[in-house]
C-alpha cells in the first residue's frame, strides 16, 4: 500500500512529540513493506498542494489529530477528500480518542483509530490491502451500512515500549520551523504523565485507558542510549531535545541511563520536568549525562491558582528551591506560563508578572490559553462563553 501521513501544524506545544509518534507509525508500516511518506500541512494547503509534497499517489492518507489541530485538519481532510483520486482517509491521535464522535460525525474519514494506534493501524492497513474484514479490529471505529457506527473496543496499551520500532525522523528533519544552524535531535523515551492538570488532555486519555494497562511507561535506558548514540553517529546534532510530556526521573532509570552513556557522549540536552520530582540527586544525575536546560510548568504566579490549575501543590517556595539546585548543577531553567486563563483577572495577571520579574528564570515561554474540549478548564471556559452569548446574560463579549 502507498500511505501518506499528514500532520496539520498549528504550532501545538506537542508538535515534536507528535512528529515522533507519527515517525513510529511510519516506521512500523515501512517495516511491513508499505511505501510510506509524511508531510506537514497548514491552513493554506489545498488537498493537492499537501499531497504534492508526497512523491506518490497514496491509497491511504492518515491524518494525525493532536489536541489543538482538529479544525485545521478537518479543513485539509475535506480538501483531500474532494480530490478526484479516491483514497481511504484515517484519523488517528489524541483528539480521535478524546472526541471520537465529533470526528466521526464530520463524515470526512473512512476510519477512526481511538487510543494508541500503533498495532491497530498496521492491522487495518493489512486488512485493507487484502480487502479483508476490518469489522473486528480493536481500536477501529467506522460507519457501516445503514449509518450504523461500529465502535470496536480498545486493546490494552503497549506495555513494553522497547518493542516498538524507532521513529522515522522525516517530519522532524523537514520541520519548517527549524532553527538554522542548530540541528536538533528530538527524542521520545516515554508515554503518559501521572499528573492531572485541569487544562490538559492527558487526564482524558488516562481515563479512557482505565483497566487497559499501565498508562505511564518508559523505554529501557539501554534502548534509549542505543538510539541516541546511533543517531549521533550518523549526524552532527548540536543539541538533543527530549519531548516527553514529563521526562522520566526515577533514580533507578537515571542511573541506568548514565551507565550507558560516557561523560560528554551527548551534546547539551533539555527536557520537561516536574519540579517536585527533582531533588539534588536527580539534578546531579541529569547534569552527569549532559543536561543543560530544564523546562517547568509555572503557569501562573499565584500559588493557590496554580494549585487549582495543576491539581497538585507546586508552591513558589518549591520552584525557587528547584531553581537554586538547578543553578548549582549548571542547568538553566525555562518557565512555561499561560496567559488568558479563565478565572484570571487583572490582579492575578499582575501577580504572575511580579513573580516572573522577581524570579531569576533563564527564560520564559508564554502560551495563550486554548481550551481543550472535555477538560475541566475547557468545559468551564465553554460554559462561560455560552453564558456570555445567551440572551439572559447582560455581559457580552466585546
Binding site for ligand SF4 (CB under 6 A): 193, 195-197, 200, 202, 245-246, 297
Nearer to ligand SF4, 66 or 168 (CB): 66
CB of 322 to ligand SF4, least distance (A): 15
CB of 297 to ligand SF4, least distance (A): 6
CB of 68 to ligand SF4, least distance (A): 13
C-alpha torsion sign, points 33, 191, 235, 63: positive
Nearer to ligand SF4, 2 or 336 (CB): 336
Q: Which of 117, 84, 126 is nearest to 5 (CA)?
A: 117
- The CA-atom distances, in angstroms, between 320 and each of 110, 155, 213, 327, 333 are 51, 43, 36, 11, 11
How far apart CA 196 and CA 40 sit, in angstroms, is 30
β-pair type (35-41, 2-8): parallel
Write the DSSP string, 258-275. HHHS-TT-S-SEEEE--G
Nearer to ligand SF4, 6 or 246 (CB): 246
CB of 51 to ligand SF4, least distance (A): 33
Q: What are phi and psi of 22, to 5 degrees?
A: -65, -40
How far apart CA 265 and CA 87 sit, in angstroms, is 46
How far apart CA 307 and CA 353 sit, in angstroms, is 18
Angle between helices 280-288 and 316-328 in degrees, nearest 10: 40
CB of 77 to ligand SF4, least distance (A): 26
Ordered alpha helix ranges (H), 235-357: 251-260, 280-288, 303-310, 316-328, 346-357
Q: How many CB atoms lie within 10 A of CB 299?
A: 22
| Conformation bin of residue 33: beta by default, left when phi > 0, alpha when psi is -120 to 50 | left
How far apart CA 201 and CA 375 sit, in angstroms, is 6
Nearer to ligand SF4, 29 or 298 (CB): 298
CB of 324 to ligand SF4, least distance (A): 22
| Conformation bin of residue 18: beta by default, left when phi > 0, alpha when psi is -120 to 50 | alpha
Nearer to ligand SF4, 286 or 314 (CB): 314
Nearer to ligand SF4, 29 or 193 (CB): 193
CB of 317 to ligand SF4, least distance (A): 19
Nearer to ligand SF4, 143 or 374 (CB): 374
CB of 192 to ligand SF4, least distance (A): 9
Nearer to ligand SF4, 200 or 323 (CB): 200
CB of 244 to ligand SF4, least distance (A): 9
Instruction: Give the E-state strand segments of the chain in sequence order.
Output: 2-8, 35-41, 60-64, 88-92, 111-113, 140-143, 149-151, 184-187, 190-191, 217-218, 239-242, 269-272, 291-299, 332-339, 363-368
Nearer to ligand SF4, 72 or 275 (CB): 275
Nearer to ligand SF4, 202 or 341 (CB): 202
CB of 40 to ligand SF4, least distance (A): 23
How far apart CA 223 and CA 257 sit, in angstroms, is 9
Amino acid at each position: 500500500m502507498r500511505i501518506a501521513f499528514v500532520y496539520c501544524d498549528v504550532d501545538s506545544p506537542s508538535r515534536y512529540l507528535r512528529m515522533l509518534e507519527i515517525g513510529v507509525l511510519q516506521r512500523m508500516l515501512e517495516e511491513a513493506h508499505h511505501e510510506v511518506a509524511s508531510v506537514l500541512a497548514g491552513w493554506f494547503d489545498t488537498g493537492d498542494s499537501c499531497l504534492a509534497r508526497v512523491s506518490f499517489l497514496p491509497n491511504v492518507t492518515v491524518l494525525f489529530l493532536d489536541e489543538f489541530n482538529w479544525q485545521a485538519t478537518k479543513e485539509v481532510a475535506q480538501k483531500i477528500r474532494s480530490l478526484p483520486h479516491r483514497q481511504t482517509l484515517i484519523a488517528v491521535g489524541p483528539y480521535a480518542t478524546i472526541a471520537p464522535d465529533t470526528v466521526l460525525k464530520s463524515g470526512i474519514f473512512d476510519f477512526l483509530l481511538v487510543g494508541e494506534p500503533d498495532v491497530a493501524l498496521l492491522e487495518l492497513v493489512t486488512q485493507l490491502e487484502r480487502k479483508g474484514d476490518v469489522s473486528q479490529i480493536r481500536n477501529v471505529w467506522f460507519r457501516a451500512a445503514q449509518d450504523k457506527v461500529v465502535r470496536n473496543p480498545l486493546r490494552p496499551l503497549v506495555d513494553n515500549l522497547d518493542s516498538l520500532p524507532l521513529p522515522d525522523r522525516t517530519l522532524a528533519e523537514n520541520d519548517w520551523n527549524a532553527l538554522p544552524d542548530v540541528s536538533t535531535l528530538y527524542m521520545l523515551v516515554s508515554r503518559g504523565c501521572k499528573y492531572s492538570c485541569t487544562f490538559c488532555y492527558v487526564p482524558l486519555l488516562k481515563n479512557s485507558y482505565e483497566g487497559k494497562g499501565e498508562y505511564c511507561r518508559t523505554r529501557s535506558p539501554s534502548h534509549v542510549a542505543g538510539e541516541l548514540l546511533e543517531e549521533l553517529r550518523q549526524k552532527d546534532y548540536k543539541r538533543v531535545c527530549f519531548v516527553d510530556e514529563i521526562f522520566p526521573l526515577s533514580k533507578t532509570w537515571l542511573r541506568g541511563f548514565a551507565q550507558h552513556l560516557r561523560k560528554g557522549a551527548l551534546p547539551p540536552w533539555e527536557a520537561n520536568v516536574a519540579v517536585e520530582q527533582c531533588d539534588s540527586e536527580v539534578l546531579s544525575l541529569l547534569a552527569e549525562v549532559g543536561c543543560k536546560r530544564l523546562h517547568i510548568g509555572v503557569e501562573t504566579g499565584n500559588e493557590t491558582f496554580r494549585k487549582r490549575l495543576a491539581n497538585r501543590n507546586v508552591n513558589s517556595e518549591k520552584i525557587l528551591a528547584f531553581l537554586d539546585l538547578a543553578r548549582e548543577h549548571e542547568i538553566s531553567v525555562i518557565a512555561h506560563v499561560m496567559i488568558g486563563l479563565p478565572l484570571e483577572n487583572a490582579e492575578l495577571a499582575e501577580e504572575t508578572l511580579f513573580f516572573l520579574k522577581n524570579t531569576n528564570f533563564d527564560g520564559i515561554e508564554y502560551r495563550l490559553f486554548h481550551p481543550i474540549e472535555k477538560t475541566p478548564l475547557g468545559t468551564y471556559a465553554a460554559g462561560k462563553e455560552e453564558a456570555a452569548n445567551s440572551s439572559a446574560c447582560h455581559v457580552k463579549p466585546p
